[in-house]
Amino acid sequence: MPTPPSSEYRQLRARPDECRVLRALLDAGEGFVSGSQLAEDMGLSRPAVWGKIKKLQEAGFEIAAVRNRGYRLTAQPEVLHPALLQLAAEDQGLGMDCLYFPVLDSTNNEAERQIANGRRGPFAVLSSCQTKGRGRLGREWFSGSAENLYLTVTYEPRLPAQKLQHFTLWCGILLCRLLRQDLPESELQIKWPNDLHCEGRKFAGMLTEAKLDADGLKALFFGLGLNVNSNPMNLPKALRERATSLQAISGKELPLNRLAIRALKAIEEAYAICIKNPDTNRDALLEAWGPFDSLYGREVVAEYAGQTIHGIARGIDSSGALLLKTPEGKPQVIRAGDVTLRQF
Q: What architecture does CATH give domain 82-290? A: 2-Layer Sandwich (3.30)
Q: How confident is the model at residue 207 (pLDDT cuts 50, 70, 90)?
A: very high
Domain coordinates in residue numbering, the chain: 16-75, 82-290, 295-341
Is omega for the bond preceding 157 within 30 degrees of 0, making it cis? no
Q: Percentage of the chain surpassing pLDDT 90?
A: 78
What is the predicted pLDDT for the residue at 293? 97
pTM of this prediction exceeds 0.85:
yes
Residue 1, CA distances (Å) to 4, 204, 213, 224 in order: 9, 39, 18, 33
Taking phi first (over 0 means left), then psi (-120 to 50 degrees means alpha), and beta for anything else, what does residue 58 get? Answer: alpha
> What is the CATH T-level fold of the domain 295-341, as seen in this structure?
SH3 type barrels. (2.30.30)
What is the predicted pLDDT for the residue at 278? 63
- Per CATH, 16-75 and 295-341 having the same topology is answered no
What is the predicted pLDDT for the residue at 239? 81
What is the predicted pLDDT for the residue at 144? 63
Rounded mean pLDDT, 122-144: 75
Among 206, 208, 204, 182, which residue's Cα sits nearest to residue 194? 206
Q: What CATH number should be reported for the domain whose range is 16-75? A: 1.10.10.10
pLDDT tens for 58-110 read 999 999 999 999 999 999 998 999 999 999 999 999 999 999 999 999 999 99
pLDDT tens for 135-192 read 554 555 555 678 999 999 999 998 888 888 899 999 999 999 999 999 999 999 999 9
What are the residues whose beta carbons fall under 8 Å from the beta carbon of 272, sequence distance 6 or more?
Answer: none
Give kind and range of the element (H or E) at residue 246.
helix 246-250
Under DSSP, is residue 106 helix (H, G, I), strand (E, B) or coil? coil
